[in-house]
Amino acid sequence: MYNQSMLKADSLKGKTIVVTGGGTGLGRSMSQYFLTLGANVVITSRKLDVIEKTAAELSAATNGNCFAVACDVRIYEQVENMLQATISKFGQVDILLNNAAGNFISPTERLSHRAFDTVVDIVLKGSYNCTLAFGKYWIANKIPANVLSIVTTYAWTGSGYVVPSACGKAGVLALTRSLAVEWGKYGIRLNAIAPGPFPTEGAWSRLMPPDMKDDFDIAKRNAIGRVGEHQELANLAAYLISDYAAYITGEVVVIDGGEWIKGAGEFNMLDKVPVKLWDMMEMLRKG
């Protein structure tokens, strides 16, 4: 069921959506679903060859309009050019999906300050550059619009070994909640999704120490006992950017199979108590 399309066909018809980091991974999967729902989609990232190939494949697979524009989201002028290229192509843009990210694992004291900048600049600066440029355009042109940002659950818990990413994602969450209030009067909604583990080449290749992959069974770390499927994330994203979610703003929706609360709950380790021991404790309690 969760592998299937959730929204009615044409739910995003007439909308133009920009997906940063749309050439690969989750950005690609969400873009594909938006296209099947009738949207025009612009995918953008640094690697033009990658996004052009993806745009051609997604257009062919969905019979939709997918257009590639190269843009490094860290550079404001490139973001403005990408916005103008989108408007030239489709006449208007209605939705921004801040999905581009950079990340790697490292003890923090081993990082150079440039390494820290690199991740924070992609995640936080990239998101506020895009949100600011698009917001100015929407407000000036009185276009009702919305922004969806992909964060992580460690945006609020923090996490060792991915500290620049945690700092960046926490900033994106603050941006989302702050502007949801400030820009509500302009008809602009801002929401976020915090995914748990969804297999992608980009994340999986960078976030696991090479020889220890088998030591971490990620599926077992959450309550549901599996990793996420791209379609279920795409379903949630499509809903949040659609007009069905018109009354939702400033929200962050967690889709992680209960991973972060499993880690947080004081007594969740009692999962390991065998049934026989529970039986014995019950007998003792009842005398």
Residues known to be catalytic? 154
Q: What size, in residues, is the chain? A: 287
- Distance (Å, whole) CA 23 – CA 35: 14
Name the minimum Å distance from CB 41 to ligand NAP: 14
Q: Does 152 bind ligand HXC (CB under 6 A)?
A: yes
23 or 135: whose CB is closer to ligand NAP? 23
The residues binding ligand NAP (CB under 6 A) are 20-21, 23-27, 45-47, 50, 71-74, 99-102, 122, 126, 150, 152, 195, 197-198, 200, 202-203
CB 163 within 8 A of CB 108: yes
Strand order in the sheet with 252-255: 65-70, 40-45, 16-20, 95-98, 145-150, 188-195, 252-255
Binder among 31, 32, 165, 191 for ligand HXC (CB under 6 A): 165
38 or 192: whose CB is closer to ligand NAP? 192
CB 55 within 8 A of CB 66: yes
23 or 38: whose CB is closer to ligand NAP? 23
Partner in contact with 143, chosen from ligand NAP, ligand HXC, none, beta carbon below 5 to 8 Å by kind: none
Q: Does 81 bind ligand HXC (CB under 6 A)?
A: no
Question: Could you please report the per-residue DSSP string of 225-252?
Answer: -SPPPHHHHHHHHHHHHSGGGTT--S-E
Q: Does 210 bind ligand HXC (CB under 6 A)?
A: no
Q: Does 252 bind ligand HXC (CB under 6 A)?
A: no
Q: Can you list the alpha helix ranges (DSSP code H) found in 91-210?
A: 113-120, 126-141, 154-157, 163-182, 201-207
Angle between helices 25-36 and 230-241 (to 10 degrees): 60
Name the minimum Å distance from CB 195 to ligand NAP: 4
Name the minimum Å distance from CB 270 to ligand NAP: 27
Which residues between 92 and 111 bind ligand HXC (CB under 6 A)?
A: 101-104, 106, 111
Q: Does 126 bind ligand HXC (CB under 6 A)?
A: no
